[in-house]
Structure 1
């Protein structure tokens, strides 16, 4: 942290470029409360409540319209727990659970077995593969990324929006993998959802006028790894990144007076596109 870094007055370890429009103290995303103009800190909002001058009624809201919570890491912890629990179960059952949950278009898992996969009606694989890992390094990298990227987004978006962003990003990665990868090629991992969080982080930082260079460098580095390392599903990474970026943009740029409507329509549009991609590929595979 350099000598000129400005940090949130309530969280001294968090750099920020946003100030309260009333008291001008620096505030981080967790402390930002949307006002008619700019953002206010929780103290200024509390001091004006009940006087007819509050920027909005009810509890303080974040940049995306969510209420502040005591634990901005709750959903992130739950997602971490689910991923680790599924990984332990996979390790305990050899390949049985892996074959039942991983993503592939259409294939036969045994010489005389029936055709399986998403095209065979096993739609759940699009979602279950997002929580599935096999190698220890794979889950370790994804979970470390989730722990660092998740909490700031969860604090800024709120639990429900954050969870929606995560799931839609994961499904977006699965959908593009299903569309472009060979039908018998298996795919698994939370990487699509993680790339969605990375794209959402870039959107949030741009919205708050933060320095974009660190997140852009991280994004470029991850994309280089995506297209140069072997055995990486670039389709999942790109699909998750595109969906996560689009959904986050709708969440943080929605006009205040129509915020809920715009956010719901953004998520619905993303889901419709995902369903359309899956439908097109299913028709192709017959």
Structure 2
């Protein structure tokens, strides 16, 4: 099935979510059957517009799970990782509509697949999580997928993803309907610009609706989702302003639910300054420095298709 067909299926409501690429047929399970199967699968979800994917996306996607605040310090030096990773594109973003000069959804999917290959080849980074909370995967083979969805909110995406993943895991394991499949636990990866929107009442009917939705999203009795937010250095914003956002968002999250569900991480001094909009602007100006902000495979793709250039 072509990427265009996948997009049409989602946009026409024929499918809530389309899995367009997996690093192996058993995703999100390990490439090889493991015994016994996990009771829980920890899956990271990087949901972005990928217009285009940058090294900041790659660094954030490479982030490792963060241990709960109440977890004892790990005595193991072995890196712990997510069981699987997902790169997710929404064809209906709450803020960003397709504009003239943008890459099409099909082109973004092609770049996401390239990023998935880059991600599979790269080594996960960040502080290792406590082993009792995130067991080490028995396989170090790549476990990355790309999907598209027609849902603008994280709360809505979480519900769709959990249902889809539960059914997929059950089907892959061949479980009977009465059997309880392993539970998918989702960690959403985002930057500070995105987390501000997540906790902004204007994206909900009202503040009461926002609080109820986010409690369901983050609560252990609900979706039990977690959030890892990359510290970014945005153009025109000082480090102090970014730190203020981190402090304010952490406080908002604590007011909604006392259990720790939000962690901030560093993704690299260079990577934290990169943005898709800066890549597009550099290309439009003919500034070759944009190539330093993306992986070589994506740079080659952009060049070969003359994306974002002033002559497009």
Into which bin does the TM-score normalised by the smaller protein fall? under 0.3
Judging by fraction of residues, say which structure has more strand.
2
Greater relative CO, 1 or 2 (CA 8 Å, sep 6+): 2
Judging by fraction of residues, say which structure has more helix.
1
Structure possessing the higher radius of gyration over alpha carbons = 1
TM-score, normalised relative to structure 2: 0.24
